[in-house]
């Protein structure tokens, strides 16, 4: 073991000295003074924290990429997007240093691209050459980042030279290029497009629902008129292929809907007729059974009387 490598467990008590990388607690041992980590589950789930312990959360990676297998709730998504689009608050006296830090961070990211490693991003010529290469390669996210870096440099140089208008204009341009860069993110572009299409569908569905509600009221009011039509007229309206609404004085309802309503009415009438016919057949059957039963009882009584009479005569 190397001298600077930290042991994983306490040699005296065998306790963990290394953060396990999950939600856990820790405290300093009163005997050896080392920080000891615990993972305790409470009875009802979650982490149990005892008095005097520190609570640790693992590093959380937030991304719009669904392959991370972690998903935002709506408040979390809104907060993450604000974090992407907004910069942290900067005091006026820190603005030059902040712009220099941002420029350095962007240039450090760009320097990792093989296609522009030979470009000197500290010169206008190098920036222009890199921009042409990035555009040709279709790396527009990096192109916008490069443009933002150049604008940040112009901005803080103008501030240092006392050129107020130039500084404000460069800062404005840098912010625009930042927004363009963010909008080039493949996941954000897909989310925005799907969200827009879904929102349009919701709007269309809302209109459809209103139209459907209107038609439903018209259909409801049409019920008595349809019930007043006789079967032959309904059959003719359904079968002849001509417009139905004009002939029965109805407007505002689609022809196919009217045909479906008439077919439904005729079907319901046939069902009711069949039900009435079955009920009558059952009634006739019950009466027939009653007649047969009374006939059987009458015959049985007569036979008993005749037998009794014969016995009485001896």
| Tokens 């001509």, located at residue | 242
d(CA 195, CA 188): 10
Mean pLDDT of the chain: 80
Q: What are phi and psi of 89, to 5 degrees?
A: -60, 135
For the segment 116-169, what is each residue's pLDDT rounded down to a tens digit?
A: 888 888 778 888 888 888 888 888 888 888 888 888 888 888 988 888 898 889
For a pLDDT cut of 70, what percent of the chain falls above it?
87
The residue that leads in pLDDT, 227 or 75, is: 227
Q: What is the DSSP string of the chain?
A: --TTSPPSB-TTT--B-S--SSSEEEEE-TTT--EEEE--B-TTSSB---TTPEEE-------S-GGGS----HHHHHHHHHHHHSPPP--GGGHHHHHHHHHHHHHHHHTT-GGGTTS-TTSHHHHHHHHHHHHHHT-HHHHHHHHHHHHHHHHHHHHHTT-HHHHHHHHHHHHHHHHHHHHT-HHHHHHHHHHHHHHHHHHHHHHHHHHHHHHHHHHHHHHHHHHHS-HHHHHHHHHS-S-SHHHHT--SS-HHHHHHHHHHHHHHHHHHHHHHHHHHHHHHHHHHHHHHHHHHHHHHHHHHHHHHHHHHH-
Q: 126-131 contacts: CB < 8 A, separation 24 or more?
A: none
Q: What local confidence, expressed as pLDDT, does residue 1 receive? A: 41
For the segment 241-288, what is each residue's pLDDT rounded down to a tens digit?
A: 888 888 888 888 888 888 988 899 889 888 888 888 888 888 878 877
Q: What local confidence, expressed as pLDDT, does residue 233 receive? A: 87
Among 147-156, 187-196, 211-220, which is the least confidently predicted range? 211-220
Indicate the pLDDT class of residue 206, thresholds 50, 70 and 90: confident
d(CA 44, CA 81): 34
Q: What are phi and psi of 35, to 5 degrees?
A: -80, 125
Reply yes or no on whether the pLDDT at 191 is more than 70. yes
Q: What local confidence, expressed as pLDDT, does residue 142 receive? A: 86
């Amino acid at each position: 073991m190397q001298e600077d490598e930290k042991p994983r467990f306490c040699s005296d008590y065998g306790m963990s000295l290394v953060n396990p990388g999950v939600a856990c607690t820790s405290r300093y041992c009163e005997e050896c003074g080392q920080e000891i980590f615990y993972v305790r589950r409470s009875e009802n789930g979650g982490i149990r924290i005892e008095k005097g312990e520190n609570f640790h959360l693992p590093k959380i990676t937030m991304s719009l990429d669904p392959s991370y297998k972690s998903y935002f709730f709506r408040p979390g998504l809104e907060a993450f997007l604000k974090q992407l689009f907004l910069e942290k608050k900067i005091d006026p006296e820190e603005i030059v240093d902040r712009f220099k830090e941002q420029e350095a961070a962007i240039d450090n990211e760009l320097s990792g691209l093989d296609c522009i490693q030979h470009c000197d991003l500290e010169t206008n010529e190098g920036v222009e050459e890199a921009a042409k290469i990035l555009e040709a390669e279709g790396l527009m996210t990096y192109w916008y980042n490069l443009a933002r870096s150049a604008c940040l440099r112009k901005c803080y140089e103008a501030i240092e030279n006392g050129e107020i208008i130039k500084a404000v204009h460069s800062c404005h341009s840098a912010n625009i290029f930042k927004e363009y860069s963010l909008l080039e993110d493949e996941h954000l572009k897909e989310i925005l497009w799907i969200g827009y299409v879904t929102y349009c569908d919701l709007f269309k569905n809302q209109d459809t629902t209103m139209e459907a509600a209107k038609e439903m009221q018209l259909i409801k009011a049409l019920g008595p008129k349809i019930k007043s039509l006789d079967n032959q007229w309904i059959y003719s309206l359904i079968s002849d292929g001509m417009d139905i609404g004009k002939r029965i004085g109805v407007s505002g309802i689609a022809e196919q809907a009217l045909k479906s309503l008439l077919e439904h009415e005729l079907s319901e009438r046939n069902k009711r007729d069949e039900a009435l016919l079955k009920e009558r057949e059952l009634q006739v059957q019950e009466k027939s059974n009653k007649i047969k039963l009374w006939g059987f009882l009458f015959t049985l009584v007569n036979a008993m009387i005749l037998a009794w009479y014969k016995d009485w005569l001896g």
